[in-house]
Structure 1
Amino acid sequence: MTMVNAFDPSNTAGFAAEEAALIERRRRVLGPAYRLFYAHPVHVVRGEGVWLYGPDGTAYLDAYNNVASVGHCHPHVVAALARQAGTLNTHTRYVTDGILDYAERLVATMPAEIANIMFTCTGSEANDLALRVAKAATGGTGVIVTENAYHGVTDVLAHMSPSLGAGAPIGETVRVVPAPTSADTSGEGFAHGVKAAIADMAAHGIRPSALLVDTIFSSDGVFADPPGFLRPAVKAIRAAGGLFIADEVQPGFGRTGAGMWGFARHGLVPDLVTMGKPMGDGHPMAAMAARPEHLEAFGREVRYFNTFGGNPVSCAVGMAVLDVIEDESLIASARDVGAALKSGLEDLAAHDGRIGEVRGAGLFIGADIVDAKGAPDAAAAAAIVNGLRERQVLISATGREGHSLKIRPPMVFSHDNAALLIERLKATLASL
């Protein structure tokens, strides 16, 4: 399967000689497995706030990056990183205050039932750890994911990430269920798929361990509403003896504009929570949070250690990110700016039949691109993404058909930034 919005390395016609040479150098030294975005890849040399800058000073409006969650190179985060790096950085087998201060502050953002946290470096590691904990707690091995999910790149997680394509076939104990749809307002349709997967596991002698979902279903096309539709599926997995793992790597840290965590919109308390990218504003850090009772069996049997997870520099960075989210009221801003952006997209859709359903919460929005018959139009979505790139606005596409625009900017995105995105999108649509 070709990655949505992937660059074709065989096509550098019209590129400047320096660009073509840089891309060839990348291919030669990094190998063929890496991918670049856009028909014409973007060369960036620095970032600030919601902007990325090319070597010639061209400014690109970043409407895609949840890695730099509170803005590229936020000065408060950079200062915290530099200060701690100049003081101490080591692993977690010494007693240090920073990891405890950060852990207590992060856990305090979650329901009281979730009281333990373990640090890793990537979301893949966090999901891998959560699966190990779920299997130890339940005695099961079966895992349920959605049909175009992405949960990580470890050997285990790749086989639970259908969006990676045929090169990472689904594992024998993994069951794939259809993603939710906007028409399934009660969530019973999604729960029916989960129940069918549980029944199929039973027929093959597989005991379920977990339902693992990204709580905004970002790779499936972004499904956020109505809040609460996840509850019947979670009830079904728990009735079968499995746990609910909320993958918050993409919707977490206030992005949905309705509190810190995507699962909270559904009135749920997960058994395990995983998080990653937004934690460090670009610094590599991730974690798994858990109800203590689920960690008992794993902790009793396994000695877990992550050399860099929870190191003093990472914890200082994580604390600074939480400072910024709080001090700059970024959750409320994500709610308000996201609502304005979604409304702007809906207005466009009302006048341009190529834009279908617009979905999302806060600063995480998906917009379907369709043909004259209302069918998914991945080619048009790719043309829009690349047309915006040529107008210095960066978004991507998602979904099983690759036809849903994926808009997920840093949380410091403003109303003016949203208006600029809509303006450039109008111009792109007019040019097609």
Structure 2
Amino acid sequence: MELLPKSETIALREKYIAPSCDLFFRKDPLKIVRGKGQYMYDELGNAYLDCINNVAHVGHCHPAVVKAGCEQMALISTNNRFLHDNIVLCAQRLIATMPSDLSVCFFVNSGSEANDLAMRLAQIHTGNTDIITLHGAYHGHLTSTVDISPYKLNMPGGPPKKEFVNIAPLPDSYRGKYRDTTYNNDEVGHLYAEEVKEICKKIQGKGKGVCAFIAESFISCGGQIIPPKGYFREVYQHVRAAGGICIADEVQVGFGRVGNHWWAFQMHGDDIVPDIVTLGKPMGNGHPVAAVITTKAVAESFKKTGVGYFNTYGGNPVSCAIANAVLDVIEAENLKERALEVGDYLKNACEKLKQQHEIIGDVRGAGLFVGIELVTDRIQRVPAKEIASYVVNRMKEEHVLLSSDGPEQNVIKFKPPMVFTKENVDTVVLLLNGILQEVKNIPHLCCAEKSTDNLISGKGPLNIKKTVKEQVKCI
């Protein structure tokens, strides 16, 4: 099919697509027409290094994943009320990566559906309704998941918080309520866990019990936060003592992204075992397949209601063929080990940047999940939101795609496809260094009231050792 001119694509989108459907780089949006590995290409053939697309987990359009989907689609795609090998083999493989108590699978289409089903399971199993979530959390776009996503609730025009939703402070030891400047890591974790304990007490004081505590094992939209040592251990104890169960959202951080383990919750200790784990679209490299893994006890509670669970596309043969292929690729290409090696290389390179640029307040992460927090004052840790926006837009001009997030939108996020390389890291860091040097020459950019709309263009390409265009020849 012949491509439309970009201007016509924009005009048709403005006419037919709901205006609330956001675009990246809305001032000059990209028209992406194909992808390969860690690169995406626009309609002119320009390559962009993708540092943020965790959904394309094993790389855009991985041939083994595409082949598996095409071959199964040519045979049959139907719902999971018919027997098929793909669904049971996929469930078996997923459960083999989990602690032994997590032994039952439900298949769904997305992380949003997974979290919705997790809450339903928790409500039925406990008989309670009160949910504890974290400030800055995002768990999906369904009505039920937006209700437990302060990331959305706190936006202008966001829905009012429901009475059954209880929000605990984000366990951020850098800019949160309890900081590493005052307390050591163990103390910070304990203090944040005590906040959850107090919420449990308030719920019980009303004569009710807790339904569930839900949190990403590492917090993504909240600002690439690594919860402090001991936090989840204490929180899980408090929640379970109040009658609740614990849900680990692994939608953005699972499938080996953290390097050391398959799942980020495993980074917090062998004794940290959630009651429910939710998985999202990285499971299908972007194809709509996701899952909920839980215990036999929770699954049995759901069965006793007499209401069967059915999802037309959840676990269909094509989706499960693709998910199995993704697992094959992770194992065959040693992507867990690669995430650890390249992620450490990225963190170390960013730490060196921090030594050169006062604007970098903190570098944190694990594997290919890394955040750079920008601040205008390292002592007061004042968020540099406008500078983060400038950096993201300038990097796009240099054909590197990044995003910023966190409550103040001042954290530069790295969640690239797992095929990211050390050479990619070198390119990104060289460009970041040059752009942060630019920032030093724009004093008024540090003013929080200043818009960056008129500061995002005209710099021209930076002089680096190897451009993205040259680097892409390597794949």
TM-score (norm 2): 0.85
- Structure 2 partner of 1:388: 395
What does residue range 28-43 of structure 1 map to in structure 2 within 5 Å? 28-38=15-25, 39-43=27-31
Q: 3-state DSSP class of the match of 1:217?
A: coil
Shift in CA distance, 99/253, structure 1 to aligned 2, threshold 3 Å: same
CA–CA distance in structure 1, aligned partners of residues 242 and 432 of structure 2 = 46
User: In the alignment, which of 325, 333, 339 is matched to residue 328 of structure 1?
Assistant: 333
Residue 73 (str. 1) matches residue 61 (str. 2): yes
226-235 or 287-296, which deviates more? 226-235
CA–CA distance in structure 1, aligned partners of residues 74 and 321 of structure 2 = 12
CA–CA distance in structure 1, aligned partners of residues 50 and 255 of structure 2 = 18
User: In the alignment, which of 11, 16, 26 is matched to residue 13 of structure 2?
Assistant: 26
- Structure 1 partner of 2:170: 179
Is the 8 Å Cα contact of residues 369 and 404 (structure 1) preserved in structure 2? yes
CA–CA distance in structure 1, aligned partners of residues 390 and 131 of structure 2 = 36
Shift in CA distance, 140/54, structure 1 to aligned 2, threshold 3 Å: same
- Structure 2 partner of 1:370: 375
Structure 1 residues 193-226: Cα deviation after superposition (integer angstroms, max 9, x where no partner): 2112212223444421100001111121122265
Shift in CA distance, 225/211, structure 1 to aligned 2, threshold 3 Å: closer
Is the 8 Å Cα contact of residues 212 and 245 (structure 1) preserved in structure 2? yes
Structure 1 residues 222-246: Cα deviation after superposition (integer angstroms, max 9, x where no partner): 2226554321111111111111100
CA–CA distance in structure 2, aligned partners of residues 401 and 148 of structure 1 = 10
Q: What is the CA-CA distance between 1:192 and the residue it aligns to?
A: 1.3
Residue 150 (str. 1) matches residue 141 (str. 2): no
Residue 169 (str. 1) matches residue 169 (str. 2): no
- Structure 2 partner of 1:353: 358
Is the 8 Å Cα contact of residues 228 and 265 (structure 1) preserved in structure 2? no
Residue 276 (str. 1) matches residue 280 (str. 2): yes
CA–CA distance in structure 2, aligned partners of residues 19 and 430 of structure 1 = 33
- Structure 2 partner of 1:241: 243
- Structure 1 partner of 2:103: 115
CA–CA distance in structure 2, aligned partners of residues 199 and 88 of structure 1 = 52
What does residue range 33-112 of structure 1 map to in structure 2 within 5 Å? 33-38=20-25, 39-112=27-100
Is the 8 Å Cα contact of residues 193 and 231 (structure 2) preserved in structure 1? no
User: In the alignment, which of 387, 404, 412 is matched to residue 405 of structure 1?
Assistant: 412
Unaligned runs of 5+ residues in structure 1 are 1-16
Is the 8 Å Cα contact of residues 172 and 227 (structure 2) preserved in structure 1? no
- Structure 2 partner of 1:293: 297
Q: What is the CA-CA distance between 1:95 and the residue it aligns to?
A: 1.1
Shift in CA distance, 325/84, structure 1 to aligned 2, threshold 3 Å: same
Q: What is the CA-CA distance between 1:344 and the residue it aligns to?
A: 0.7
Q: 3-state DSSP class of the match of 1:45?
A: strand
Q: 3-state DSSP class of the match of 1:371?
A: strand
4+ runs of 1 displaced by more than 3 Å? 17-21, 203-206, 225-229
Is the 8 Å Cα contact of residues 162 and 169 (structure 1) preserved in structure 2? no
- Structure 1 partner of 2:215: 213
- Structure 2 partner of 1:193: 195
Is the 8 Å Cα contact of residues 172 and 226 (structure 2) preserved in structure 1? no
CA–CA distance in structure 2, aligned partners of residues 364 and 269 of structure 1 = 21
CA–CA distance in structure 2, aligned partners of residues 300 and 351 of structure 1 = 61
Structure 1 residues 156-196: Cα deviation after superposition (integer angstroms, max 9, x where no partner): 11111111124232221011111112336222122112112
Task: Tell me the number of residue pairs that the alignment of Structure 1 and Structure 2 aligns.
Answer: 416
Q: What is the CA-CA distance between 1:294 and the residue it aligns to?
A: 1.2
CA–CA distance in structure 2, aligned partners of residues 86 and 168 of structure 1 = 44
Shift in CA distance, 22/204, structure 1 to aligned 2, threshold 3 Å: farther
- Structure 2 partner of 1:12: none
Shift in CA distance, 124/105, structure 1 to aligned 2, threshold 3 Å: same
Residue 315 (str. 1) matches residue 303 (str. 2): no
Structure whose alpha-carbon radius of gyration is higher: 2
- Structure 2 partner of 1:5: none
CA–CA distance in structure 2, aligned partners of residues 95 and 234 of structure 1 = 37
194-203 or 97-106, which deviates more? 194-203
Q: 3-state DSSP class of the match of 1:112?
A: coil
Q: 3-state DSSP class of the match of 1:230?
A: helix
30-39 or 208-217, which deviates more? 30-39
Is the 8 Å Cα contact of residues 162 and 168 (structure 1) preserved in structure 2? no
Unaligned runs of 5+ residues in structure 2 are 174-179, 440-475
CA–CA distance in structure 2, aligned partners of residues 170 and 322 of structure 1 = 38
Q: 3-state DSSP class of the match of 1:118?
A: strand
Q: 3-state DSSP class of the match of 2:248?
A: strand
